[in-house]
Amino acid sequence: MAVKMTLILLIVALMAECIVGGPMVNDPNRDPLPEENMNVTQMILYNGYPVENHDVTTEDGYILSVQRIPYGRNGNCKNVTSKPVVFLQHGLLAAATNWVTNLPNQSFGFVLADKCFDVWLGNMRGNTYCRRHVNYSVHSDEFWDFSFDEMAKYDLPAMINYVINTTSQPYLYYAGHSQGTMIGFIEFGRNAELIKRVKAFYALAPVSTVTYMGGALKYLADLSPEIQFFFKLFGVREFLPSNFVVKWFAQIFCKAPVLEMVCSDFLFLIAGNDQKQLNETRVPVYVSHTPAGTSVKNVVHFAQLHNAKKFQMYDYGSADKNRQHYGQDTPPEYNVSKVAVPTALYWAGHDVLADPMDVKSLMPKLPTLTYNKFIEAWEHLDFVWGMDATTEVYNDIIKHILEKEREMGKS
């Protein structure tokens, strides 16, 4: 009974997110870092890089904000012509800020720009930078009726096609983290036109099935029917956990002596934190920009994957409703064996969201797997915020891209 009551309190707290959402980063004993109160565009400019903001409208009417870093810091690489185009896509509950919140030599977006790449940062519907629609209000049920199914079907092609058309380049290189890899595994296995436009796919902390995941999402998976019911009953559509929920999970996952501020951020509670790779001085910046928001439906979809132990489309809860959407009683499964873009995997031994057992299950199914790098000591967020991410991953990706460019006689 006590456990059940705790779960009910958790659901009620989730409903309160519209009132008291956001990370707890206020500490009266410290001076805030400038980037804490900046948006992604301001952060890029603050660090000495040029930036362009582009609006991309999807086929179903969402207006996505995309940032471009066309060349390096303080004009570096400005006069280099025909730069390789790299598109970076964030993960669950995140935003384009993931790629620019570290120091310039540690942030993938900045590292690429300083190596003379044309860098584009994607944002998914429903996050901080994508809360507009041509017809629907952000306060409507219709706006929040999406999961990663729609991100893959509409957002990813819209952004990639826009970048290709804007740069007049025949192709780009795609690097995704977490959910950003998931939508790649979906769309690069079925969208023939899009596949032609992506030269290589670099999957950081790759996610398809989440059968073995741990962390806060595993706990929420057991509550998915109740969460759906209560959110629908009280008209809450966006998933942005309240401070009550964050504190509750922090008591479970933060028993070891770690930074209190890390444990006040729900993204760390979902994905874990690696103290050895964590730049403690940057933590206030991380938690001021995450969680960046998504739909309740999207989080429930992740929970469904864990419970079903399959990589499948959203389950509408009954055979009748699934037939209305899919023409069959159960959600269709995604077929990663049809991924046609050359793929490189970067995965970690202590990843609670992209668990090594799930990644090992994925690897033999990929027909175009060209490379994989396993980092035993790492966790999920090390691929975007790790202090050694540049030496362990980013430089490795850059090396592979330049090799491909040389093979095609382009550099």
- Residue 280 to residue 294: CA distance in whole angstroms: 26
Please list the helix, strand and coil fractions of the chain in percent, rounded to the nearest 5, in that order.
45, 15, 40
Active site residue 380: yes
Say which amino acid occupies 205. A
Residue 201 host element (H or E)? strand 198-204
Say which amino acid occupies 264. S
The active-site residue, picked from 208, 264, 380, 382, is: 380
Active site residue 351: yes
Whether the link from the prior residue into 291 is cis, omega within 30° of 0, is: yes
The active-site residue, picked from 107, 178, 264, 295, is: 178
Contacts of the segment 257-265: beta carbons below 8 A, 24+ positions apart: 259/283, 261/24, 261/25, 261/27, 261/287, 262/287, 264/23, 264/24, 264/25, 265/23, 265/290, 265/291
Phi-psi region of 113 (alpha: psi -120 to 50; beta: other; left: phi over 0): alpha
Measure CA 35 to chain center. 20
The CB density around residue 74, as the number of other CB atoms within 10 Å, is 11
Active site residue 147: no
Mode of pairing for the β-strands spanning 198-204 and 343-348: parallel
Q: What would the two tokens of residue 144 be?
A: 């929040």
The active-site residue, picked from 351, 355, 358, 382, is: 351
Active-site residue list: 178, 351, 380
